[in-house]
A and B are shown apart, each in its own frame.
Chain A
């Protein structure tokens, strides 16, 4: 055992003497961050020792970064400094107080649901209205789970996976995003509460998109969410997180981590629709969405594809990335990021080519309106052994007001002579000529904007599962209502 490990062990046992013999009744951790908090969370979740150790290492790393004030400051976003000791790091998911009918729900919220075309049953669920048996999420979830089990697909909460499949968790946790990766990844590793876990066994093509299931189960998973998806050899899974319905949360800071792993010939398609509360008209009170998402194409001929539609949150900081380790592996990133009001988004992707003949595509669309500020930040890195690799990057910005901003920061690092990289970028306003052309066909100014903006996002939307493409379109329209035309 290394000295480091022993130190951890010693600390672990010491702490145990101090207070965790007595069972704690409360479901909420004490405010603040220290080793006891970590132990408390781990004990609460009845975690195996490896996980507690991992959390503690992450915690210590985080504290070092915090003490050295090594907070990530390179992103083009601005916010007051966060007091990390003034946060409650764990709180068991609360069951919301059930309302009796939709009439008790905030009419503004219902209007939004209507605009988004959310079915009535689902509106009720989202708004916390008690629903009848047909819409009972638990029973539907069970049906889905049974169906998945037939194929050997393991899918459920991270906590369940820790209990039922600790060997898989131990093998893959942190294998893509180590706790040393960045400031918020360290924090997440130390205090993550729950998230999703999915394992698709060899040769299995997941029989349906893990979409409906997730939506039905989109309960409050807490502010430090952790997701791990592993696609074993020759398997395929399409996964969707998020929901177009506006998500409010009392926690301002959200620091999630998502890790994807594909083995030989496997494929993961991961789609996100993010609509966190963006704050009031002046941007006050919105969610800080600081997310680390990364996939590793560990096997040859494997593929990871990220698609995201980011319309919410006061600040978005995320770079869904792919490490192309296996030969002939493929990484893709498709993104639409909308900022309006005082929203800020610094988002993009990192493609690290390590294997031979690896290919990556980045299509990023940034739309800025009002005082919104959108930045595309990307890195394409081709290592010496990644011969004959190929990347295509296109990052386009559309400006809809005079006080918004769009920035593009693409980095490229190529260390061999046989790879091929292409980069395209343009920034534009909706042109007077396009608007006049539409008007001349009888199309109103507002409808013309709608058409042009949807057209701008088309390449990304068509990557989404069909029903979500429809939802994403509506979401964008609802968000832009009143900002153009």
Chain B
């Protein structure tokens, strides 16, 4: 589904990603772990097409399409979703209207007729349970005055509505207390299917005790230094990233 080949990326003139290789298949959950500043969020943003993050070399293929040549809205329409670490406020725009705009933009791009307000609201109501929210939540303005937990639930609700093939979840666990984390994680699990994939970007292991990954990657210094099974996440939880920092240094020395 997603294939990333020797991807380099910069913010301004500062290189952040220095050759990332990654392959995610349908039905898989991959976790990208790493300490602060390792390039995790940059990877998420570059794949989603944030204009401040520039891919300088390498390739990223999404279902065979050259992802890096596509506008961000076209990546979304092709089925790529990013759950933001810091969801953005859009004052005066109701959350349900916002979701309907996105939902219908995707339908339109696929030649499916747009859904009217009433039908959409029914559809939306049927998804609210996934994140344990009620309808009053969706009548508020997008992320305005949302608590940390509400923002993250809101992101997962959007994922449920937009039904992407690939969801990149950027630090979805950050800022959540244990109960909220469990609920959000359960929501993610409900959306896991054999025909979609999830890329979980996280600093900590804790969300992975609810959303079990198939593959764990450790990203340090803009490179994936090691990939392994779910047990690697637990190991990081107890031992930290020191071992991997050393591996990254060795890689840099060799390069």
Contacts and interface: CB of A to CB of B under 8 A. Distances in A.
Interface string A438-472: 11111111010001101111110000000000000
22 contacts: A431-B88, A434-B90, A436-B51, A436-B72, A437-B84, A438-B101, A440-B49, A440-B73, A441-B99, A441-B102, A441-B105, A441-B158, A442-B73, A442-B102, A443-B73, A443-B101, A447-B101, A451-B98, A455-B90, A455-B92, A458-B93, A459-B92
A439 B84 contact: no
Contacts of A459: 92
B101 A441 contact: yes
Contacts of A440: 48-49, 72-73, 75-76, 81-82, 84
Given A432-B52, A451-B93, A442 B106 contact: yes
A457 B141 CA distance: 13
Contacts of B88: 431, 433-434, 436-437
Contacts of A455: 90-93, 141
B73 A445 contact: yes
B101 to A, nearest CB: 5
A455 B89 CA distance: 11
B16 interface: no
B87 interface: yes
Given A441-B76, A456-B92, 8 more contacts: A436-B50, A437-B88, A440-B72, A440-B75, A440-B81, A440-B82, A442-B109, A454-B93
Contacts of B84: 437, 440
A444 B102 CA distance: 9
Contacts of A442: 73, 76-77, 102, 105-106, 109, 162
Interface string B37-55: 0000000000011111000
Interface in B115-145: 141
Contacts of A441: 76, 98-99, 101-102, 105, 158, 162
A363 to B, nearest CB: 12
Interface string B148-159: 000000000010
Interface of B: 48-52, 71-73, 75-77, 81-82, 84, 87-93, 97-99, 101-102, 105-106, 109, 141, 158, 162
Given A445-B73, A447-B105, A454-B92, A439 B141 contact: no
A437 B106 contact: no
Interface of A: 431-434, 436-445, 447, 451-452, 454-459
A459 B81 CA distance: 31
A447 B87 CA distance: 19
A444 B73 contact: yes
Contacts of A452: 90, 93
Contacts of B90: 434, 437-438, 451-452, 455
Given A432-B52, A441-B101, A442-B105, A457 B162 contact: no
B114 to A, nearest CB: 12
Contacts of B49: 436, 439-440
Given A436-B50, A436-B72, A443 B102 contact: yes
Contacts of A431: 88
Contacts of A454: 92-93
A-B interface, 8 closest residue pairs, ranked by CB to CB distance from nearest: A455-B92, A441-B102, A458-B92, A455-B93, A442-B105, A442-B76, A439-B72, A437-B88
A439 B82 CA distance: 11
Given A442-B109, A442-B162, A437 B91 contact: no
Nearest to A444: B73
Contacts of B52: 432
Contacts of B102: 438, 441-443
A261 to B, nearest CB: 33
A439 B92 contact: no
Contacts of B76: 439-442
A337 B207 CA distance: 48
B87 A456 contact: no
A447 B141 CA distance: 17
A457 B102 CA distance: 21
A435 to B, nearest CB: 8
Contact of A443 (B75, B82, B87, B105): B105
A439 B51 CA distance: 11
A454 B91 CA distance: 9
Contacts of B97: 451
A454 B102 CA distance: 16
A366 to B, nearest CB: 15
A154 to B, nearest CB: 39
Nearest to B53: A436
A432 B53 CA distance: 12
Contacts of B105: 441-444, 447
A3 B4 CA distance: 93
A455 B90 CA distance: 7
A133 B82 CA distance: 58
B121 to A, nearest CB: 17
A455 B97 CA distance: 11
B60 to A, nearest CB: 16
A408 to B, nearest CB: 18
Contacts of B71: 439
Q: Count chain A CB atoms within 10 A of each CB in B93, B106, B141, B162 and give the residue with the most.
A: B93
A437 B151 CA distance: 13
A295 B92 CA distance: 29
Nearest to A460: B92
A440 to B, nearest CB: 5
A456 B91 contact: yes
Given A439-B72, A440-B82, A442-B162, A451 B101 contact: yes
Contacts of A433: 88
Contacts of B91: 455-456, 458
Nearest to A445: B73
Contacts of B141: 455, 458
A432 B91 CA distance: 15
Nearest to A396: B91
A319 B245 CA distance: 64
A9 B223 CA distance: 94
Given A442-B76, A452-B90, A454-B93, A432 B98 contact: no
Contacts of B89: 434
A434 B90 CA distance: 7
Contacts of B109: 442
A424 to B, nearest CB: 13
